[in-house]
Amino acid sequence: MPNALAKQIDNIPMLPSVITQLLSLSVDDPDYFNKVIHLAESDPTFALRTIKLSNSVLFGTHQPITNIHDAVIRIGIDQIHSLLASIAVTKVFLPVTMSEKRLWQHSIEVACLARLIASHLNECNIKPEQAYLAGLLHDLGLFLRFQESQEQFNHIDDYVWSTPAQHVEAEKSLFKESHANLSELICHQWGVPKLISNVVAHHHHYELSEQTKEADEINHLIRVIQLADLCSEMVYNMQGVTKKTVIQEIKKIPALANWARAHLNSIRALDDGKAALEQAHELYNQLLN
């Protein structure tokens, strides 16, 4: 890895302690709700942003919320974890250029779509909020790539690509280190749970070994991120995201297509894809505008 890039990673601000503590909490803890509220209240910035978001159209039109307890109830204990993480991460990598803004839009789209898909895959033992977090963080390395050489990165479009896998091949032609590896290093720097950092590191690996139960669980989550990533790229390419169009597009990635055929609910989930994308775009506007 170039020294300049290694230095960039070392200089990335750490996540606020409220988020690192939140990531260490178990959703199975009977006191999880109270601990989340306590953490949100402990940081005035997070408390104010959480209350503001609870009053946005993301959560419908209701009586105005003025305290963190009611805000968490309205948002939902499942989603508050991912919402606070979104607030924190977008503060660290605040987008300036159009490319960076588009990247955050893509990351939030992937996060929301991954959560939707995971919620339909009970047999895969994936927690939807884990899928959201993996989707949110999967392309963090691209922010470093943009900062390192935005002009050189733009040459990726000199190559012909229409899927995430083809995009990665184009990237490898220009750089030694893949953005997935950079994303993994950032996750390690921040103390992100190993499951998430593993998924981030391998989200462009399409030939996966499935030898143990633990590996199967990781691989299912990787497939969810790959499918959500593909759907977001389809949005960028102005293709409608429907079951029919995704089935057509997924044929370009045989390993992912085989997984989807074995887990048809992953495709059926996309009946609600439009709503998930609308939610992603509203969340983007709330977080970054």
**168 and 219 co-located in one domain:** yes
The CATH number linked to 217 is: 1.10.3210.10
Task: Quote the pLDDT of residue 283.
Answer: 93
164 and 252 both lie in a single domain: yes
| Number of domains forming the structure of the chain | 2
Of the candidates 270, 103, 131, the one whose C-alpha atom is nearest the C-alpha of residue 203 is 131
Q: Are residues 115 and 159 in the same domain?
A: yes
Q: How far apart are CA 17 and CA 15, in angstroms?
A: 6
- Do 1 and 84 lie in a common domain? yes
**Residues 221-248 pLDDT 10s:** 999 999 999 999 888 877 788 888 999 9
What number is the average pLDDT over the span 90-96? 87
Domain end point (choices 67, 92, 117)? 92
Listed residues 46, 76, 92: the one ending a domain: 92
Among 68, 92, 116, the domain-final residue is: 92
Same domain, 20 and 79: yes
Flag the least confident range among 23-32, 149-158, 201-210. 149-158
Q: Which domain holds residue 43?
A: 1-92
Q: Comparing C-alpha atoms, which of 177, 90, 195, 207 is closest to residue 140? A: 90
* 272 and 196 in a common domain: yes
Q: For 110-133, how does the pLDDT look when each residue is reduced to its tens digit (9 = 90+)?
A: 999 999 999 999 989 899 999 999
> How far, CA to CA in Å, does 247 sit from each of 123, 167, 244, 268?
21, 20, 5, 11
Mean pLDDT of all residues in 144-159: 67
Q: Residue 162 phi/psi, 5° resolution?
A: -140, -5
pLDDT, average across residues 34-45 = 88
pTM value is: 0.90
